[in-house]
Amino acid sequence: MAEVLDVALRCVVVLAAFLVLPLAVGQLEHKTMAHMQSRVGPMYAGGFHGWAQLVADGVKFVQKEAVTPSAADRPVFALAPGVALVPYLVVLFVIPLGPSAVGADLDLGLFFALAVMSIGVLGTLMGGWASANKYSLLGGLRTASQLMSYELPMVLAAVSAAMMAGSLSLVGIAQAWEWSWLLWQLPALVVFVVAGLAELQRPPFDMPIADAELVLGPYTEYGGMRFAMFLLAEYAGIVVLSALTATLFLGGWRGPSSDELGWLWVLLKTMVVAFLVVWFRVAWPRMREDQLNALAWKILVPLALGQLALTTVVVLA
Amino acid sequence: MTAVTVVFAALGVVTLVSAFLVVTSDQIVHAALWLVVTLGAIAGLYILLAAELVAWVQVLIYIGSVVVLLLFALMLTRAPSGPGSATATRNQPLAAVVAGAVTVGLGAVVWAGFGGEVIDEDEIRIGTAERLGDALFRTWVLPFEVLSVVLLAALVGAIVLTRKGAR
């Protein structure tokens, strides 16, 4: 009985994190972008600095009519937002808040996280194809080519951390983390975050969505709750990427008095990385398609391979 | 009948039905999406067989990359979206013969190799990364290296194909 309760409690906590953290990142993005661009941003909803803006957005999305284009492939069109969103919920189960505070400590946690994350893109592809819209289709094409380029450096960078720790378990990697990793693993950290941004199609890698050319890429025909789910998937993706970065390269729960405050450290590190992700969006213009692929193949992949060689030397020495 | 048997049977049914839909689907993109279900169910079967690493590799490589590549290729070509786009070939009988032959061949190999094998559920060894790496790089290192020649051949083929028009 206690075991069942334990599992249920873990599920509830993960679900709560899944429902709350993406909204927190969304609000962070609203306010950070506003202040970086010298404007106030949402101020009225909820009274205090527009804290309830995302709730208001949610209510708005619910009220909207779910329009399906007549030429669309209906089942695929309807299924796509779910396929995009659910993988991120699943990944949250293996991200540790502490040595034992984790949804499920898998022996292959890192591999599991990367594998499940790669499914989410299928949702975008399905939406892009099923909308029967040329802008959507082009967006889907760009999504696929971007994913294929950036999957490799991302996995290679993550492997470097796993090699350093001698473990594929996320708990094991965070446990093996040392301060010196910040130096040894810095290239891997950079490659991981950049490639992760590209997988999430966040600016400056938002060529698939490029609103000046493709309306909104694969999401063009989506409205109401379905669009909200895609949006939520994007924010959940930021949470997962930031939390993975924090766990792999920043030591997860490690920090002063980590026995009691470990979970706070994880959340803090996650939010710092999420803040950087938002900052990148404000700071850089969109990259062109050829620049995008050149960055992946000519810079990130060699950098990640060099990092792997360096890690091998450090581990063996 | 244990719970494992029930799950195994359920996953097996899902695999077979979705695989059938892959080859009979009227629209070619639907076929690719049913393939996702097939591959996912096979990953589930790997987990049941305690081959964890193989299962997640299956998800990462086959669902996350190969199917994405497939969809990419479909979008890049004529992007047929209407019904009937999957039945535009006259090679179906030939494909059926080849598929049947492969099924019989593989089935015979598995039967000959593991026909009378009984798995003792109490002594299952989980296929961790460590165990798999040990097997691959100690016991089976030669076949592993030979297999990489296949990748080399594919790479050379891709280069030949892309340079064809450049001359």
The pLDDT of residue B86 is: 62
- Which of A111, A144, A151 is closest, CB to CB, to B56? A111
Count of CB atoms situated within 10 Å of the CB of A94? 24
Which of the pair, A116 or B164, is modelled with greater confidence?
A: A116
B124/A249 Cα distance (integer angstroms): 34
> Over chain B, what is the mean pLDDT?
83
Residue B80 has pLDDT above 60, yes or no: no
**A97-116 residues touching B, CB cutoff 8 A:** 106-108, 111-112, 114-116
Q: Contact B53/A129, CB-based, under 8 Å? A: no
Q: What is the average per-residue pLDDT within A197-217?
A: 81
The pLDDT of residue B18 is: 92
Residue A289 sits at the chain B interface (C-beta within 8 Å): no
Q: What is the average per-residue pLDDT within A167-190?
A: 84
Domain that residue B31 falls in: 1-82
The pLDDT of residue A78 is: 85
Minimum distance, in Å, between the CA of residue B68 and any CA atom of chain A: 6
In a domain, residue B1? The reply is yes
Residue type, A25: V
Which of the pair, B77 or A89, is modelled with greater confidence?
A: A89
Q: With 0-12 CB in 10 A as exposed, 13-18 as middle and 19+ as buried, what is A10?
A: middle
The pLDDT of residue B153 is: 92
**A156-175 residues touching B, CB cutoff 8 A:** 168
Classify B124 as helix, strand or coil: coil
The pLDDT of residue B109 is: 93
Domain ends where: B46, B66, B82?
A: B82
Q: Contact B76/A141, CB-based, under 8 Å? A: yes
Q: What CATH number is associated with residue B62?
A: 1.20.120.1200
Residues B74 and B137 in one domain: no
The pLDDT of residue B22 is: 85
Q: Contact B59/A119, CB-based, under 8 Å? A: yes
Q: Contact A111/B81, CB-based, under 8 Å? A: no
The pLDDT of residue B51 is: 82
A143/A125 Cα distance (integer angstroms): 7
> Which of A228, A289, A253 lies closest to A97 in space, CA to CA?
A253
**A204-243 residues touching B, CB cutoff 8 A:** none
User: Would you say A95 and A113 are in contact if contact means Cβ atoms under 8 Å apart?
Assistant: yes
Domain ends where: B50, B82, B114?
A: B82
Top-confidence range, A140-149, A162-171, A191-200: A191-200
Residue A126 has pLDDT above 90, yes or no: no
Q: What is the average per-residue pLDDT within A206-231?
A: 81
A131/B129 Cα distance (integer angstroms): 41
Q: What is the average per-residue pLDDT within A84-91?
A: 88
Query: What percentage of chain B has pLDDT greater than the value 90?
Result: 17
Residue A260 has pLDDT above 80, yes or no: no
Whole-complex ipTM: 0.77
Q: How does residue A21 score in pLDDT terms, banded at 50, 70 and 90?
A: confident
In a domain, residue B112? The reply is no
Residues in chain A within 8 Å Cβ distance of B75:
128-129, 137, 140-141, 144
Q: Contact B60/A114, CB-based, under 8 Å? A: yes
Give me the number of domains chain B comprises: 2
In a domain, residue B89? The reply is no
Residue B166 has pLDDT above 60, yes or no: no
Q: Which of A142-151, A260-269, B74-83, B151-160 has the least mean pLDDT? A: B74-83
